[in-house]
Chains A and B, each alone.
Chain A
């Protein structure tokens, strides 16, 4: 069999190969209706209202890492997919797949985290399922969470609405989650306080509902990092994006690991951040709102939408311009 005839780790990386797989195998079969355009969550008509519905699986390794574990990550991931689709999360399901031999004490810690995160987010674990498989048939514990939320009025989102001159804003420091998991997995100590940024973003979204008319696009930059999200926005369109390297919020720990390992932090996942593209008319109000909230204290404007057709570029600290490439292969498998 040729390599392209089998599933590779890179098919899960959020980069070009992931996109190709999803397009050719999923969208080709299921892509009409609510899945069209591949939003993070589907918006479905329900009587006179709309509901938001999503699902996500979590296979992170190790199960516990600085600042979090697979349990709170599974809650935040699904809450955030609903939030960035313009919804307020309400109910979550929890499907557990446990490996024979997993210490019950580990399971307890993780379920305690699920409970604490769900309480903090104001969502209810409404239904669930537990299966156990033999040793070696999964890796400790996998979780699937699906979520239902109600649609917040006023949000009309989509990459096709993004226009030249719009601002690109992020809600805080990027890439800490991916680097924290990587450091935990490989026992890399860099003497700095690097921990996951895993957190809910639905309150950030709710807080700017009054500005929804000026907001064109929202996404949480998870697998594949900011670079992949931005590439998806401009891919095949007349718009481009220009970032300012000096404005990119990376923590010292994330930057140190990026330098040591040669991994572009723009390719690395966050699990508690939102990227927003909005009209410059609303960005000042949006930043003021977010900067006043705990979850958005580090929010800042990082770039602009341009007419540089389909290209994401960056103005570097040296005063030059270069392109921002999407990750090709799979540098960081199983970070969520």
Chain B
């Protein structure tokens, strides 16, 4: 546990909190506030679990961004997966997806009424299912950011090698940098800095944030998931805001390299190509997704099964889109902890274990 305890030292946290308080005062003297967006859902959870938001000075705000892969996946995608389950395919998915509401129903309801829906912890389970069920079609729900995309891309590689013909991927991959660009240029938002993801950055590298820095940019600090990691990143961001700089800072250099993981990236490039993608909350963002390259089209569930992911209908009264965008705090949603709870979730942000509403419900009511 020494690798965890070292990053949870209460005295060190106290020193960092004091430094943050001093920097916040310096900002306040200049009549400035710091709106910091944490982009990643795991950060959102860690920030809530360690009560970090509650200890921040009043002019420093952490805004949860679009970093929960389940939450940003649009309703129409769930509808397409449910339709495929109706076509006798075995749907293979990470567990969080099965309770996310589609336009009419959820995958959990599909399963209880007889549809084949398997939840797995690793994409490689989809290969096992494909090998063990040669007469069934296996459709893997391929969602996620860069961290998850690389291991899913290996499914195509292995299936090609083994000649598995009954496996396909329903893709809704999302890329972090195009989303940051969309958020920075959104007139409804004012973001002073990004607290950049840990594991996504391990793949894309800290250099990927350079375009968002400089004279017209904002500070971008890569942070790990432990409390001291996060406090140190906030300290770094505030120091930059006080100094008036906007640079990339890699606080998580024990894992993240400037160039990222080149092997993982070349694997992604081999099988996937950039596509325009629709995000819940952000809408259509150009070149913000990855789809399967035409030469591997036999693995593309949409092509193989002749379906198309349409724009779905959002659940009535659900404000998840605004929460994902950082426009609305979960607790400001009129449904929060009233009509919408983890037991009876209206929208995905309350369902997913990385969703902002779920984090606020669990730790910040």
Q: Does B120 have its Cβ within 8 Å of any Cβ on chain A?
A: no
Task: Tell me whether A317 and B365 are in contact (CB under 8 A).
Answer: no
Query: By CB atoms of chain B within 10 A, which of A255, A262, A316, A318 has the most?
Result: A318
Q: Does B17 contact A (CB under 8 A)?
A: yes
**Which stretch, A29-37, A71-79, A100-108, A320-328, touches the partner chain B?**
A320-328
Contacts of B227 in A (CB 8 A): 316-318
List chain A residues, Cβ under 8 A from B54.
Answer: 320-322
Would you call A246 an interface residue if the criterion is a C-beta within 8 Å of the partner chain's C-beta atoms?
A: yes
The answer to whether B1 touches A320 (Cβ under 8 A) is no
**What is the bound-complex CA distance between A263 and B263, given in angstroms?**
33
The answer for the CA separation of A252 and B5 in the assembled complex, in Å, is 10
In the bound complex, do residue A316 and residue B1 qualify as a contact, i.e. CB atoms below 8 Å apart? no
Contact A314 B1, beta carbon cutoff 8 Å:
no
Least CB separation from A3: chain B residue = B112
> Shortest beta-carbon distance, A186 to chain B, in Å?
13
A256 to B: closest C-beta gap in Å: 6
The interface size bin for chain B is 20 to 34
How far does the Cβ of B51 sit from chain A's closest Cβ, in whole Å? 3
The minimal Cβ–Cβ distance linking B171 to chain A, given in whole angstroms, is 27
- Interface membership of A319, Cβ < 8 A: yes
- Please judge, given known A-B contacts A252-B1, A323-B364, whether A314 and B343 are in contact too, CB under 8 Å: no
Confirm or deny: A281 has a beta carbon within 8 angstroms of a beta carbon on chain B.
Answer: no
Q: Cβ of A235 < 8 Å from any Cβ of B?
A: no
Residues of B contacting A320 in the complex (Cβ-Cβ under 8 angstroms) = 50-55
Q: Which residues of A contact B9 (CB under 8 A)?
A: 317
In A282-327, which residues have CB < 8 Å from any B CB? 314-323, 325
User: Closest chain A residue to B46 by CB distance?
Assistant: A318
Interface SS majority for chain B: helix
Which residues of chain B have C-beta atoms less than 8 A from A112's C-beta?
Answer: none
B258 to chain A, nearest CB (A): 28
Interface pair A316/B362, CB less than 8 Å apart: no
**Could you give, for residues 342-362 of chain B, a 1 whenever the CB lies within 8 Å of some chain A CB and a 0 otherwise?**
110000000001000000001
CB of B10 closer than 8 Å to a CB of A: yes
1/0 contact string of B1-38 vs chain A (CB within 8 Å): 10010001110011001000000000000000000000
Is the C-beta of A160 less than 8 angstroms from some C-beta in chain B? no
Q: Is there contact, CB below 8 Å, between B51 and A321? A: yes
A153 contacts the other chain (CB 8 A):
no
- Roughly how many angstroms separate A319 CA and B53 CA in the complex, as a whole number? 10
Residues of chain A lying within 8 A (CB to CB) of residue B342: 328
Chain B, 91-119, CB within 8 A of any chain A CB: none
B230 contact set on A, CB distance < 8 A: 318
A119 close to chain B: CB less than 8 A: no
Chain A: minimal CB distance from B28 (Å): 20
Is the contact region of chain A dominated by helix, strand, or loop, or is it mixed?
Answer: mixed
A319, B4: Cβ atoms closer than 8 Å: no
Query: Do B10 and A317 have beta carbons less than 8 Å apart?
Result: yes
Are A318 and B362 neighbours in the complex by a CB distance under 8 Å?
A: no
Bound state CA distance, A325 and B360, in angstroms? Answer: 11
Residue from B13, B48, B50, B51 with most neighbouring chain A CB atoms (10 Å): B51
- Cβ of A322 and Cβ of B51 under 8 Å apart? yes
The reply to whether B1 and A317 form a contact with Cβ atoms under 8 Å apart is no
| Cβ-defined partner of B1 (8 Å) among A255, A262, A318, A328 | A255
Q: Please indicate the chain A residues that have their CB under 8 angstroms from the CB of B305 in the complex.
A: none
Q: Is the CB of B365 within 8 A of A323?
A: yes
Minimum CB–CB distance from B18 to chain A (whole Å) comes to 9
User: Judging by beta carbons under 8 Å apart, are A256 and B51 in contact?
Assistant: no
> In the complex the two chains form, what is the Cα distance from A251 to B13 in whole Å?
22
Contact A319 B13 (CB under 8 A): yes
Residues of chain B within 8 A (CB-CB) of A321 are 51, 54-55
Q: State whether the Cβ of B49 lies closer than 8 Å to any Cβ in chain A.
A: yes
Compute how far the CA of A322 lies from the CA of B9 in the bound complex, rounded to whole angstroms: 17
Chain A residues lying within 8 Å of B53, measured Cβ to Cβ, are 320
CB–CB A317/B13 < 8 A: yes
- Collect the chain A residues with CB atoms within 8 Å of residue B228's CB: 318
Given A316-B227, A317-B227, A320-B51, 6 more pairs with CB closer than 8 A = A256-B1, A317-B10, A318-B227, A322-B49, A322-B364, A323-B364
- Spell out B's residues near A (CB within 8 Å): 1, 4, 8-10, 13-14, 17, 48-55, 227-228, 230-231, 342-343, 353, 362-365
The 13 sampled A-B contact pairs (Cβ below 8 Å) are: A246-B10, A252-B1, A255-B4, A259-B1, A316-B49, A318-B50, A318-B52, A320-B50, A321-B55, A322-B50, A322-B54, A322-B363, A323-B362
Binding site for B on A (CB under 8 A): 246, 252, 255-256, 259, 262, 314-323, 325, 328
Please name the 3 residue pairs, one residue from A and one from B, whose CB atoms are nearest each other, closest first.
A320-B51, A318-B227, A322-B51
